[in-house]
Amino acid sequence: MKKIVMILCIAALMCMTSLAAAVTSDTSASVVDESLKPDFIVSAITLNAGEIFANETNNISATVKNIGSVATGNFIVKFTVNGLDTNVPSSGLEGGANTTLTITDSALRTLGDSVAITVTADSNNDISESNETNNLMTLTKTVVNNGYKSKRYTGGSNIITQATFEGKYGLVYSAGNTAYLAPNWPATTYTWSSANLKIPTGATVVSARLYQPYTFNKMDTDPAFTMFFNSNTVTPIATYKDQKSYGMYNYPGGLYVYDVTSLFDPSGNSITVTPETGNNYGMWGAYLVVVYQDPAGKTEKIWINDEFDTLASGNNYAVNSDEATAYAPFSGVHASGVSKATAIAILASAADSGKSKFYFNNQEYPGFWTDYLLNPQIGFSSYDVTGAIQDGTDTARIQSYLNGTAGDSMYAMNTILVIEYPEEAPVANFTASTTSGKAPLTVSFTDTSTGSPTKWKWSFGDGTSSTTQNPKHKYSKAGKYTVTLTVTNAAGSNTVTKTDYIKVITKPVAEFSATPTSGKAPLTVAFTDKSTGLPEKWKWSFGDGTSSTAQNPKHKYSKAGKYTVKLTATNAAGSNTVTKTSYIKVVTKPVAGFSATPTSGKAPLTVVFTDKSTGLPDKWKWSFGDGTISREKNPEHQYLQEGNYKVTLTVTNVAGSSTTTKTNYIKVTTNTRPRVHSESK
């Protein structure tokens, strides 16, 4: 019995095993192997220098990788920046391959804003993946300034003029025996000898500006050192600072400015700098910029511009040369008669050879490294910019030049412009015996220039000239003449121009224009006198019973109609009249009307339509009933098919429009084509 039971159990087990195998075999035939599908991930989101920068566009890149073993077709990558989507198409990826896609975020963002970035691979679900949940990456950044760019990009200022001097002035500058002080520096004294800052005998110091720059301030507050000048405590009249504003080494530097004019001693000067407790910043060498007035000196104009601008071009900083350029504008420049112009750029830490440039207007000059002073770690770079000087506002540019992968890391503090002018140049001026009269008109000119000119050149405005001091000149033709006098001596020259100074008249020839010349009532029209011969009196007749004696009157027409306008122009030589018939058209809403010839006949039938509308329309639209239109006033149209045609005319002017329709107006009786036209079709 036990054997029978055992045999039955074994048979049942074998049957169940066979059934399970059959089920397993059937299931495997219908299930897709997930390991044979692609799978996208976003492996990285990359920003400019790892940041979103204020006041500029930003590039955002994403690396998408297919971590599956099967190649994909084309797909879409979606960049979402603060809720705004940008879709970027991508070619397919082999298994294990990746691609990097980039967009430009054009929004100009504000410092401190939060920016949420999400990148989604295969955002349209075009590709079937083994894992559909790992396709996106999210990054949130706070907007920062890129302090390695000039302050133009960070909401700051150009290097702006803080003082100007014009007259018998001179300029000297020096860092004395100052030197760089490392953090935790002690109280230190420095001096300037009379040889450092040479003030001519008889000159008076009118401005002495002391500058103390600092760097890499790791404290939570601005430096609070005490400055003594010639043993007197002085306080800043201005402070400037700048910093990288993001990432590592984000420590500010700056510049303190002191007015020490009243304390300056031409025989020698000193400063003592005493730190606050626990100072943790470096100090570049201090320097003095001194302006003196010298009765025996040259005539100069001096501009002193101050700021503190960190500049560092570099691929790793996402800063190009143009962006790492500080600007120093100088307004009120007069280029005429300049004998010499010098620009002085004062920078800290500008020591790298070939990695900086100086520009004045459009002229390029070498950079600053040759003028770098090792002890104070600042430099004074002087440039002869005489050939680059222009009238108006001139601009100096201080640039960290991207030479290779990076430019110099440097700090622009001052740009000074000194322009020398010739001595006692003359100032031109003149008078005339008469300034108006009938042709021919003889005028005696008298030179009243100052500055003892020795040469004169007159231009009388009619193509003739003279080099005598006090010439006489005869004007033969009517007109307004601009007279120019240029006077010269050994120190220079000067020109004065008097526009339309001499007025020579003949009998006028009347002429005028008007704006507008048509419109709906009430219509206000501005009349403009265009008469020649220099009239002195005007009489207008507006055609509606009213008149005016103004040169350029305005007149309101209250009723519809066509008005004839007349102008009489008069001067001492006579008068002249011009009349313009129906010149002003004052309209009302038009009423459409028309006729046609012929209105019936065999095809092809050519019909001439004539506008009969009233109200002075200025636009027409015809519909000929056969699907064609015209915008001519009196069109000609050819009908090619048999049928009765409805004609519609719409006329328009500024007052409105009107439409008239004539049904079955044109009858064409001979059909020249297989199709017959009727108005119902």
The better pLDDT of the pair 422, 340 is held by: 340
Class of the domain covering 36-142: mainly beta
CA atoms within 13 A on the CB side of 606: 2
pLDDT confidence bin for 533, thresholds 50/70/90:
confident
pLDDT, one tens digit per residue, over 184-208 is 999 999 999 999 999 999 999 999 9
List the helix and strand counts (H, then E) for the chain: 1, 50
CA-nearest of 68, 148, 82, 150 to 113 is 82
Q: Count other Cβ atoms within 10 Å, centred on residue 650.
A: 20
- Name the amino acid, one letter, at 124: N
The three-class DSSP label of residue 36 is: helix
- CATH 2.60.40.10 applies to domain 512-587: yes
Average pLDDT over residues 73-102: 97
Give me the residue spans of the domains in the chain. Answer: 36-142, 153-421, 430-505, 512-587, 594-668
Q: For the residues 37-46, what does the mean pLDDT come to?
A: 97
Asked if domains 430-505 and 594-668 share a fold, the reply is yes
What is the spatial distance between Cα 567 and Cα 538, in angstroms, rounded to a whole number? Answer: 7
Distance CA 479, CA 500 (A): 9
Q: Encode pLDDT of 57-81 as tens digits.
A: 999 999 999 999 999 999 999 999 9
Q: Comparing C-alpha atoms, which of 211, 346, 228 is closest to residue 287?
A: 211
What's the rounded Cα separation, in Å, for the pair 415 and 358? Answer: 11
Tell me how many degrees the CA angle 249-253-254 measures, rounded to the nearest 5.
170
Q: Is the pLDDT of residue 386 over 90?
A: yes
Domain spanning 430-505: which superfamily? Immunoglobulins (2.60.40.10)
Question: Does a cis peptide bond (omega within 30 degrees of 0) precede residue 516?
Answer: yes
pLDDT above 70 coverage of the chain, percent: 93
Summarize pLDDT for 231-245 with one digit per residue, the tens.
999 999 999 999 999
Does 319 have pLDDT greater than 90? yes
CA 543 to chain centre: 51
CA angle (108, 109, 111) in 5-degree steps: 140
Q: What's the pLDDT tens digit per position in 613-628?
A: 988 888 999 999 999 9
Interstrand relation of 340-348 and 378-384 (parallel, antiparallel or unpaired): antiparallel
The mean pLDDT value of the chain amounts to: 92
pLDDT value, residue 6: 38
CATH architecture of structural domain 153-421: Sandwich (2.60)
Query: Token digits for 478?
Result: 């009517």
34 — pLDDT class (breaks 50, 70, 90): low
- As a whole-number percent, the residues of the chain with pLDDT over 90 amount to 83
Please, which pLDDT band fits residue 90 given cuts at 50, 70 and 90?
Answer: very high
Alpha carbons 143 and 191: distance in angstroms, whole number: 45
| Fold of the CATH domain 594-668 | Immunoglobulin-like (2.60.40)
pTM above 0.85, yes or no: no
Q: d(Cα 632, Cα 597) in Å, to the nearest integer?
A: 16
pLDDT of residue 21: 38
